[in-house]
Amino acid sequence: MKDFVTDYLKEHESYFKEVSAYIFNHPETRFEEYDSARFLADECERQGFTVSRNVANIETAFTASYGTGGPEIAFLGEFDALSGLSQKPGETSYQPMEPDIGHGCGHNLLGTGAFAAACAAKAYLEENGLPGRVTFYGCPGEEGGSGKTFMVREGVFDDVDAALTWHPSPVNAIMDFSTLANYQVYFRFRGKSAHAANTPHLGRSALDAVELMNVGANYLREHIVPEARMHYAVTNTGGISPNVVQANAEVLYLIRAPRVDQVEEIYQRLIKVAKGAAMMTETEVEIDFDKGCSNYVSNRHLESMLHKNLTEAGPGEPAQDEKDFAGKLWNTLSESEQQNYLAPLSGFGYTGDGEEYAGKYLADSISPYEAREGVLAGSTDVADVSWVAPTAQLTAATASLGTSVHTWQMTTQGLSDFANRGMMRAASAMAMTGIQLFESKEDLQQAKSEFEQFRKKNDYKNPIPAGVQPSRLDEK
């Protein structure tokens, strides 16, 4: 099996690099990944998959399946980019481009790597005449949209027996931590305009209400669980004229906590803060729930399988020019970023103390796997898939040490040979794990039994209310 997967991915490596490059060069934000989704779905059809588009009534969501009978193994792919993170690739200084959208989280690599894994698993089933169904899930809107959570709500993953995915990062490891559940909610205040000097007493300031809400929220921080986070962005200040009392203003909140019930409790308290701000300013507040996602549930058996196959794929050896480039990127980091570069890696699954990286700027090893309890200080909609099917995810080194996701440094490395080798490493580990699940009823049953035992003790409720629909950034 290993030889088959290795040979297949090597033979098609240039093709998958081209797929990744296309997505990188067509960056699109949540739920408007029209070029990327169309291109990737078309490529799935060219590779012999049966494609269903407009899945869950999301224009840029699709599935691509091959095979019948046996279990369904899912490979989860993302392809959305981030606003404000454009960057000319291959440069060691900040050089933004237009439009100001870029793959600062490496989703061009993520989606392509999952696609490559699905293709390799499909080829193996064909070659050996095995029953089973390989499905590549084209999942839009992970960044700020929770596309998979909407898809889970609509039952898209109900028939999946196991799901595999990955994420680019500076290290090679298994992502075994839980994640923060979240809600994202708009608070829109409406007041009454007036001349700010002549008749200010006749106005009712929506901007005052936003500011008072934010003050109240900041005082609330002391009285929520320590692991929780509340982020906000003022998305409408009511105009640019200070001599007009602002009649409309808006703030967008992202509430995070280790569990959905904790997020819900904070959300209900934040609603009271918003209503209090509206009362103080004699304005009205409209609350618009945008999206949410759950905390991630690990599957230890799948993780063990994935780690074994990641080790089989090997870490690779960076070339000297790649080391030199990584060293230059290291020098773009602040002293604080350099001193604390190890801290974020723990959330990605790194279990070492950094000793093996002394004097290095690129990871050339695979972190040992330990089934750890902890919470990654971030969120992902993969979490909701993990509540409806056994799920595991790995990370592969595609960027230099010290690189944070959601930065121009991440974007600039998105087309590098080092990144592409990390992508293929991830594809190899996922493909081999998927094939093992097709061939070994025992492994699949063990993963499913672990999942079922967890679900017996823990109820799942999709965090997105039934009436809420996915929305593009320009629709809000």
State yes or no: pLDDT of 475 exceeds 90. Answer: no
**pLDDT at position 180 over 70:** yes
pLDDT > 90? residue 476: no
DSSP string, 378-397: S--THHHHHTTS-EEEEEEE
User: Mind listing the pLDDT tens digit for each residue in 245-297?
Assistant: 999 999 999 999 999 999 999 999 999 999 999 999 999 999 999 999 999 99
Which domains are delineated in the chain? Answer: 2-178+295-457 (3.40.630.10), 181-293 (3.30.70.360)
Mean pLDDT confidence for 160-165 = 98
Q: H helices within 62-182, ranges in order?
A: 107-128, 142-145, 147-153
Q: Cα dihedral sign for 323, 325, 330, 331?
A: positive
Query: Alpha-carbon torsion 369, 372, 377, 379, what sign?
Result: positive
CB 243 within 8 A of CB 197: yes
DSSP class of residue 367 equals: P
Q: What tokens appear for 440 in the block?
A: 């070994």
Q: What is the mean pLDDT of residues 354-363?
A: 95
Cα atoms in the 13 Å half-sphere on the side-chain side of 275: 6
Pairing assessment for the beta strands 50-53 and 62-66 based on DSSP bridges:
antiparallel
Q: Answer whether residue 474 shows pLDDT above 80.
A: no
* Sign, Cα dihedral of 370, 373, 376, 377: negative
Crossing angle (nearest 10°) for helices 260-281 and 206-220:
140
pLDDT, tens digit (0-9, with 9 covering 90-100), for 390-430: 999 999 999 999 999 999 999 999 999 999 999 999 999 99
Question: DSSP letters along 397-433, please?
Answer: E-S-TTPPSSSHHHHHTTTSHHHHHHHHHHHHHHHHH
Rounded Cα distance between 375 and 396, Å, is: 19
Provide the β-strand partners of residue 186. 252, 288
pLDDT reading at 71 higher than 90: yes
CB 40 within 8 A of CB 27: no
pLDDT beyond 90 at 473: no
Please, which residues have CB within 8 angstroms of residue 313's CB and are 6 or more apart in sequence?
425, 428, 429, 432
Residue with structure tokens 């599957």?
299
- d(CA 191, CA 182) in angstroms, rounded, equals 29
Sorted by sequence, the CB contacts under 8 Å of residue 189 that are 6+ apart come out as: 206, 207, 209, 210, 213, 248, 249, 250, 277, 278, 281, 283, 284, 285, 286
Edge-to-edge order in the sheet of strand 173-174: 50-53, 62-66, 133-139, 72-78, 162-169, 391-397, 173-174
Structure tokens at 470: 């996915």
Is pTM beyond 0.75? Reply is yes
Q: Which two tokens stand for residue 400?
A: 């230099």
Q: Is the pLDDT of residue 57 over 90?
A: yes
Beta strands in 7-132 (DSSP E): 50-53, 62-66, 72-78, 82-83, 101-102
**pLDDT exceeds cutoff 90 at 472:** no
β-pairing, 62-66 with 133-139?
A: antiparallel
Whose CA is closest to 132, among 50, 65, 69?
69
Is pLDDT of 471 > 90? no
Q: Which two tokens stand for residue 172?
A: 């090679």
CA distances from 142 to 48, 231, 441, 464 (A): 26, 17, 32, 14
Categorize the per-residue pLDDT at 74 as very low, low, confident or very high, splitting at 50, 70 and 90.
very high
d(CA 149, CA 155): 10
From the CB of residue 360, how many other CB atoms can be counted at a distance below 10 Å?
17
Within 10 angstroms of residue 82's Cβ, the number of other Cβ atoms is 23
How far is it, in rounded angstroms, from Cα 455 to Cα 33?
A: 34
Tokens 């500011």 sit on residue: 211
Residue 182 to residue 231: CA distance in whole angstroms: 11
168 - beta bridge partners?
396
Phi, psi (degrees; rounded to nearest 5) at 58: -110, 120
